[in-house]
Amino acid sequence: MKRWSGVVILFLSVALLSFIWHFPASWAVQHSWVKQNLPKSMKVSEVDGPWWQGAAKVSWQNKSLGGVEWQWHPLSLFTGSLPLSLKLNAPKAQLKAQVLADASDIVVKDVNGTFNLSYLSNFLKSASILQAAEGDVVLKDVSTALSQASLNSGQVWPSSLKGQVVLVDFDMMGVHLPLLKVTPELKGESIKLLLNGTGKSWQLTGTSTVTANHRFQNNLMLTSTTPQSFPSWGGMMMQKTAPNKAVLKNTGRW
C-alpha cells in the first residue's frame, strides 16, 4: 500500500509541475497584479506560449513597439537571481538583451542590435526632434546596472555602463555624419562619452560629459585634410579656428 501511495504522490507531483511549467502566459498577462504593475501607456496583446517562454505584441501610447519574445530561466531562482532573455522585432528595430534581477540590482547586459532614429522618436517625447532625422543606431555589447534603491527613489543613475553605440548615416538639418562611434565611461555621477566620427577626408573627435545633476559639457574638434574637404555644417555649428579646423566648447543643462 505504501508503495502505491508513493507512486500516486510522484504522479501527482509530476502532473502538477507539468501544469505549472506549461501554464499559459496569456492568463498571467490578464492577471490584475500584472496589469497594475505595467505602465499605463503600455499594452500587451496576442500573447502566445507558456509563462516562461513566449511572444507578444507590445504597444506604447497606442503605437506599436513590435513583437517581443522572452525566455525566463526559472532554475536560476535557486541562485537568488531571475535572468530573462529578451528579443524585440519591429520593422525599424531588432534588439536582443539579457536582464538579470536580484534584491539589490537590475542588470541589462549583452544588448545588441539596431534601430532607426525615427523608431525612437515615435515613443519618447524628448526625442521628438529626431522625427526629422535619418540614420540607424547600432548597439554593441551594451551593459548597464541600476540599483533598486535608485529606482525606488526616482533618481535613476547607472552604477555601471559599458559597450559602444554607433550612429550610421545620420542626417539632420544639413548635418551628415556617415559614421560616429560613441563609447561611454562612467565615473561616479558623471558619464563621459568618447566621440569619434569620420567622413570624406574629415574627422570629428572629442568628449561630451553628462552628470547626474543634469549638466552637460561638450569639447569637440572637427578637422579635415584640406580646406576644400571641410564639411559645410562645421562652420555653422562650431567655431572655426582655421580653414580646416573648428571647435565646440559649451556647457548647459539637459
- Per-residue pLDDT tens over the stretch 73-116: 766 666 666 788 999 999 999 999 998 877 788 899 999 999 99
The reported pLDDT for the residue numbered 61 is 81
Residue 202 Cα to chain centre, angstroms:
30
Share of the chain above pLDDT 70, in %: 78
Pick from 183, 186, 179, 188: which is nearest to 207 by CA?
183
**Rounded CA separation 144/184 (Å):** 11
Secondary structure string (H, E, C) spanning the chain? CHHHHHHHHHHHHHHHHHHHHCCEHHHHHHCHHHHHHCCCCEEEEEEECECCEEEEEEEECCEEEEEEEEEECHHHHHHCCEEEEEEEEECCEEEEEEEEECCCEEEEEEEEEEEEHHHHHCCCHHHHHHHHCEEEEEEEEEEEEEEHHHHHHCCCCCCEEEEEEEEEEEEECCEEEEEEEEEEEEECCEEEEEEEEEECCEEEEEEEEEECCCEEEEEEEEEECCHHHCCHHHHHHCEEEECCEEEEEEEEEC
The reported pLDDT for the residue numbered 202 is 97
42: confidence class by pLDDT, cuts 50, 70, 90: confident
174: confidence class by pLDDT, cuts 50, 70, 90: confident
Higher pLDDT, 121 or 162: 162
The reported pLDDT for the residue numbered 126 is 60
141: confidence class by pLDDT, cuts 50, 70, 90: very high
Largest Cα separation within the chain, whole Å, is: 97
198: confidence class by pLDDT, cuts 50, 70, 90: very high
- Asked whether the predicted pLDDT for residue 3 surpasses 60, the reply is no
**134, 171 contact by CB (below 8 A):** yes
Per-residue burial over 30-41, b if 16 or more Cβ lie within 10 Å, else e, is: eeeeeeeeeeee
- Mean pLDDT, the chain, integer: 84
- Asked whether the predicted pLDDT for residue 229 surpasses 90, the reply is yes
Q: Over range 63-71, report the average pLDDT.
A: 90
